[in-house]
Amino acid sequence: MRKERILEIERLRGLAFLAVVLQHSIAHYTVAPGMTMNDGVLMAVLLLISKFAVPVFIFITGMVLFYNDSEQFRYAPFVKRRISDIYIPFVVWSVIHVVINGSVHLGSVAGWTELGLMLITGKASTHLWYIIMLFQFYLLYPLFRSALRGIVSRFSRQINIILLIMAGILFIVMTANITTIGRWMENLHIPVWSDLFTTYADRNALYFSFYFILGAAAGMNPGMWSSWISRARPLYWAVFCFFFGFLLTQGIQEVRMAEGTRITFYSLSLLRPLMALFLISSIMSMYDLASWICRRSGRAVNTILSSIGLYSFGAYLMHLLTLRISYVVDESIMISMPSGVRIISSWLISVTLAYLGTRAISLLPHGKWLGGVPGGRSRGAKRESITTVKM
């Protein structure tokens, strides 16, 4: 029996895609010549506004997986489908990015070895780390499924809520000790594992695990989650606003220190304890916003956001290339305009081209190998596929 669609998730996915493209649009202008401190402050504001993207995508993955979970779970078909719908498009786009960037010379054994490493680490392009991190949740899903379902069935609702809060606290403590954990793992010299906590710590799923667990809790108890989102609105919005202001002051201080040189936002990186608190509140706040959009924004906005969310996976894989096109437009006709206009223009151009490009790819007979959208299926089937397996 097919479960009822969660409309908020469709809008939320669209919002998260818009946010991640905005983040990458900002990155280009941090190194653009002529940027002032005021430009850096604007970038800090826009960056914090869009920072929710990755945690929300992970939350959606957890919520959708556990919401659609059934008693008859088979690991092999589950992983096979994710390889087909997610990993193969990732491989194709990794090769495309490598060829366009000219970062690997495929005329030698060393070049092919480097490409193979990129297909494991997601280093073919700066945004592909996310796919490698996300895929770890799919590979480990049976462990999450067994543990979380076992806990939910064994304890009362009140105990489960306490355990969820404790998991969140432990997660924040862990983010405060990532450097210590990395040093400890490095001293163990365990192949692959030591690297996962050092060189590739930024794509270690463990450091993003609570967002997935929170999504799993929401997926297993959607009614309770919706009730919490409604009743606790003043609490999580207050936390969101407080940490937004606090982190903004840190970002502005970093801009001041970098005046005259490259603008950086290391203080706003994802793997920090205060950022983790902000991002947890961001998930709830953005879910609330998506619910409000469902109720109040009208058919046009809801249709656009849902459609963007539907094609977000392929558009995500492609969007760094469409950003390049937007920069050509920027440098040709917008170089003298205010930084805010330039950033938003590049963002809109990239989003539009990536979205339209993915829609066009989806119409091809084998479009799923590029966009993760099964070509040849009905629109409804496409929607179901995206809802159940994508970001």
Question: What is the pLDDT at residue 351?
Answer: 97
Structure tokens, 347:
């963002």
Question: What is the pLDDT at residue 383?
Answer: 39
Question: What is the pLDDT at residue 261?
Answer: 65
Give me the phi and psi of 270, to 5 degrees please.
-70, -35
Rounded alpha-carbon distances, angstroms, from residue 271 to 17, 93, 106, 202: 20, 26, 34, 8
Summarised one tens digit per residue, pLDDT across range 140-197 is 999 999 999 999 999 999 999 999 999 999 999 999 999 999 999 999 999 989 999 9
CB 326 within 8 A of CB 346: yes
Where does the pLDDT of residue 367 fall: very low under 50, low under 70, confident under 90, or very high at 90 and above?
A: confident
Residue among 248, 272, 228, 291 at smallest CA distance from 46? 248
pLDDT higher than 80, residue 364: yes
Summarised one tens digit per residue, pLDDT across range 16-52 is 999 999 999 998 898 888 888 889 999 999 999 999 9
- Stretch among 235-249, 256-270, 358-372 having the lowest mean pLDDT: 256-270
215 Cβ contact partners less than 8 Å away, ≥ 6 residues apart: 58, 59, 60, 61, 62, 63, 64, 65, 66
Q: SS3 letters for the chain? A: CCCCCCHHHHHHHHHHHHHHHHHHHHHHHCCCCCCCHHHHHHHHHHHHHHCCHHHHHHHHHHHHHHHCCCCCCCHHHHHHHHHHHHHHHHHHHHHHHHHHHCCCCCCCHHHHHHHHHHHHHCCCCCCCHHHHHHHHHHHCHHHHHHHHHHHHHHCCHHHHHHHHHHHHHHHHHHHHCHHHHHHHHHHHCCCCHHHHCCCCHHHCHHHHHHHHHHHHHHHHCHHHHHHHHHHCHHHHHHHHHHHHHHHHHHHHHHHHHCCCCCCCCHHHCCCCHHHHHHHHHHHHHHHHHHHHHHHHCHHHHHHHHHHHHHCHHHHHHHHHHHHHHHHHHHHHHCCCCCHHHHHHHHHHHHHHHHHHHHHHHHCCCCCHHHHCCCCCCCHHHHHHHHHHHCC
Q: Give the residue extent of every domain in the chain.
A: 7-389
Structure tokens, 166:
């404790």
Q: Which residue type, as a one-letter code, is found at position 25?
A: S
Summarised one tens digit per residue, pLDDT across range 99-139 is 998 878 877 888 899 999 999 999 999 999 999 999 999 99
Question: What is the pLDDT at residue 368?
Answer: 82
pLDDT higher than 70, residue 2: no
pLDDT higher than 90, residue 325: yes
Summarised one tens digit per residue, pLDDT across range 234-254 is 999 999 999 999 999 999 998
Where does the pLDDT of residue 388 fall: very low under 50, low under 70, confident under 90, or very high at 90 and above?
A: very low
- Rounded CA-CA distance 205/210 in Å is 10
Conformational region of residue 305, where left means phi above 0, alpha means psi within -120 to 50, and beta covers everything else: alpha
- Rounded CA-CA distance 103/285 in Å is 40
Question: What is the pLDDT at residue 376?
Answer: 35
Residue among 200, 215, 209, 37 at smallest CA distance from 129? 200
- Rounded CA-CA distance 341/250 in Å is 24
Q: Which residue type, as a one-letter code, is found at position 188?
A: L
Question: What is the pLDDT at residue 262?
Answer: 74
Where does the pLDDT of residue 1 fall: very low under 50, low under 70, confident under 90, or very high at 90 and above?
A: low
CB 60 within 8 A of CB 391: yes
User: How many CB atoms sit inside 10 A of residue 125's CB?
Assistant: 19
Question: What is the pLDDT at residue 349?
Answer: 97
Residues in the chain: 391
- Rounded CA-CA distance 66/225 in Å is 13
Summarised one tens digit per residue, pLDDT across range 214-234 is 999 999 999 999 999 999 999
Q: Where do we find the tokens 């959606």?
A: 60
Please state, rounded to an integer, the average pLDDT across all residues of the chain: 90
